[in-house]
Structure 1
Amino acid sequence: MVSVCMATYNGNKFISIQLDSILSQINQSDEIIISDDGSTDGTLDTINNFKDERIKVINNVGKKGPVGNFENALKHCSGEIIFLADQDDRWLPGKYQKHINGHEDYDLVISDATVVDENHQIIFSSFFKQRKSKKGLLNNLLTNSYIGCCMSFKRDILNASLPFPHSIHMHDWWIGLIAELKGKVFFLNEPLMLYVRHSVNASGTLVKRLPLKDQLINRFDLIRNLIKFKISNGTKQ
């Protein structure tokens, strides 16, 4: 069984396109777990109009924002393989199956994406190329490649990642680094989704840079929590 976990907040403008692209690929036995952070723009009405039993909506009553909202979705999923999905992107044909194939040998699979604006006009043809993405713990502490919407992972990686440390900047970065420590990671060099960048994205990946002070604080916090994880769990080198 596969779970697709999505966090929503006022995403009514884009959510139909994304759900259509996912539902057309997943199996009838799979599920989409949507955690909503208190949308007021009709997002929930649009989701409910799909009338698809694979979609399960829960309200986020915990920590607000993307990290808490995704954690809420992940805590409610049942799948052995978990995909993360943003409300405003679009899966391209073949994404689901190519990730599933990758999981025959790997614990986390991350595929490339075409970066587009809200009208699906291309900004960058390859997220990997623009980000200089590659695996490696140090590489991804310096420049994070692990954007959740491009990732899927096995339940062992999810179990090791939860609960999220309270102070981490982004959940997907944390999950990717845990997979680097605990499992086998595969970078699939094929764009399998449209990664939509617009003025109200929850994250500013590729379009905004945090002040240097905040960047350093985020990395220090990740390192501190990774050391705690390694001490308490014991992981491969």
Structure 2
Amino acid sequence: MISVCIATYNGEKYLREQLNSILSQLSVDDEVIVSDDGSKDTTLELLKEYVEKDPRIKLFKGPGKGVIANFEFAITQSQGEFIFLADQDDVWLPAKVQTTLAFFHSHPTIDLVISDLVIVDERLETIEPSYFEYRNVKLGFFQNIVKNKYIGAGMAFKSSLKAKILPIPDKVPMHDMWIGLIAAYKKKSALITEPLTLYRRHDTNASEIKTKASFYQQLKWRLALSYVLFKRLFFNG
């Protein structure tokens, strides 16, 4: 069973296209967990329309504490053996689920994978053909503490990892960075170099490709992150 976790907030413009690209790849036993964080547009109406037609979609009221807490809540509701994270404004390419599951089955020691993405504009026109090449994405625990390259829109992981990553500490810069580092510490992560997602960039994205935070702010984040990672990895098993 697969669980796809989506954190929504005012996502009416692109959400329908994303849901359709996901649902077409799932089996009848899979689920899409949607946690909405208090949308003020027509996102909820759109989601309720889908819920009425498709029992695989499970809609929840989010905690109202921002994108990290919203994704965390969605993950806690998931029941699947494999958990995929999905942004509300992207589009999954047709082979995403099949390719990802095949990779997990052929690499049984891996707990988390990140697949490449095509960076596109709001009309899905290509900006960069490979997120991995554009960001020079590489695996590695310490390397990604210093300069994070992990991206949730390309991320999928085994449910067994939930015991390690949850709860997500308040002080981490982003949920995908935390999840990626937890898996990377014991070398349980891998990259799928095939682009499997159209990663849409527009004026209202919740995340940035490259942070605009100051060096001082980034240093504070890294120190706080290192502290909570140390506590989780060495004192929580």
- Shorter chain as normaliser: what TM range? over 0.9
Q: Answer yes or no: is the 8 Å Cα contact 1:107–1:153 preserved in 2.
A: yes
Alignment partner for residue 140 of structure 1, among 117, 126, 144? 144
**Structure 1 CA distance, aligned partners of 2:26 and 2:212?**
35
Partner of 1:175: 179
Instruction: Kindly state the Cα deviation for residue 226 of structure 1 after the two structures are TM-superposed.
Output: 1.1
Q: How does 1:69-218 map to 2 (within 5 A)?
A: 69-104=70-105, 105=107, 106-182=110-186, 184-206=188-210, 208-218=211-221
Aligned residue for 1:123, secondary structure, equals strand
Q: Answer yes or no: is the 8 Å Cα contact 1:117–1:123 preserved in 2.
A: yes
Q: Answer yes or no: is the 8 Å Cα contact 1:157–1:183 preserved in 2.
A: no
**In structure 2, what residue type is equivalent to 1:122?**
T
**In structure 2, what residue type is equivalent to 1:116?**
V
Deviations 1:131-173 (A, max 9, x none): 1001111221122121111000011212210001121111110
Deviating beyond 3 angstroms after TM superposition, the runs of 4 or more aligned structure 1 residues are none
Alignment partner for residue 58 of structure 2, among 56, 81, 90? 56
Aligned residue for 2:71, secondary structure, equals helix
Aligned residue for 2:183, secondary structure, equals helix
Task: Say whether 1:228 aligns with 2:220.
Answer: no
User: Aligned-pair RMSD on alpha carbons?
Assistant: 1.2
Aligned residue for 2:138, secondary structure, equals coil
Single out whichever of 225-234 and 119-128 deviates more from structure 2. 225-234
Single out whichever of 120-129 and 136-145 deviates more from structure 2. 136-145
Instruction: Kindly state the Cα deviation for residue 27 of structure 1 after the two structures are TM-superposed.
Output: 1.1
Instruction: Kindly state the Cα deviation for residue 183 of structure 1 after the two structures are TM-superposed.
Output: 5.0
**Structure 2 CA distance, aligned partners of 1:161 and 1:2?**
18
Q: Answer yes or no: is the 8 Å Cα contact 2:38–2:64 preserved in 1.
A: no
What percent of counterpart residues are identical?
47
Instruction: Kindly state the Cα deviation for residue 229 of structure 1 after the two structures are TM-superposed.
Output: 1.4
5+ long unaligned stretches in structure 2: none
Instruction: Kindly state the Cα deviation for residue 181 of structure 1 after the two structures are TM-superposed.
Output: 1.6
**Structure 1 CA distance, aligned partners of 2:158 and 2:186?**
11
Aligned residue for 1:134, secondary structure, equals coil
Q: Answer yes or no: is the 8 Å Cα contact 1:157–1:182 preserved in 2.
A: no
**In structure 1, what residue type is equivalent to 2:120?**
V
Q: Answer yes or no: is the 8 Å Cα contact 1:110–1:150 preserved in 2.
A: yes
**Structure 2 CA distance, aligned partners of 1:229 and 1:159?**
11
Single out whichever of 100-109 and 9-18 deviates more from structure 2. 100-109
Aligned residue for 2:98, secondary structure, equals helix
Instruction: Kindly state the Cα deviation for residue 45 of structure 1 after the two structures are TM-superposed.
Output: 1.1
Deviations 1:60-85 (A, max 9, x none): 1x351110111111111111110000
Task: Say whether 1:10 aligns with 2:10.
Answer: yes
**Structure 2 CA distance, aligned partners of 1:96 and 1:176?**
19
Q: Answer yes or no: is the 8 Å Cα contact 2:37–2:64 preserved in 1.
A: no
Instruction: Kindly state the Cα deviation for residue 209 of structure 1 after the two structures are TM-superposed.
Output: 2.0
